[in-house]
Amino acid sequence: MNKLPKTRFHLVFSLAMGAMMVPLMTFVVTLVNVGWVPDFLGRWLRAFLVAYAVGVPVIYFLAPFVRKLAGSVAETP
């Protein structure tokens, strides 16, 4: 499989991180807020779509800052 160029790493990272974090977080928060109601999956899907659209750009723009912050308080691997 051909890899994307290094210039696309941060974008791929942001999309992957969003794909892992957003479904889990929206599921838990939706469950806490409304409980296991008959239309839970529809509510969760709506929350997921909105959160993914917001979350990926947030990850994209904040990740470099967070990496620098973490590097200032902990040794980098």
Under the banding of pLDDT at 50, 70 and 90, the label for residue 76 is: confident
Which position has the token pair 């990740």? 63
Mean pLDDT of the chain: 95
Render pLDDT for 38-59 as a digit per residue (tens, 0 to 9). Answer: 999 999 999 999 999 999 999 9
Which position has the token pair 């409304």? 34
For the entire predicted model, the pTM comes to 0.83
State yes or no: pLDDT of 32 exceeds 90: yes
Q: What share of the chain has pLDDT > 70, as a percent?
A: 100
State yes or no: pLDDT of 27 exceeds 90: yes
Contacts of 10 (CB under 8 A, 6+ apart): 60, 63, 64
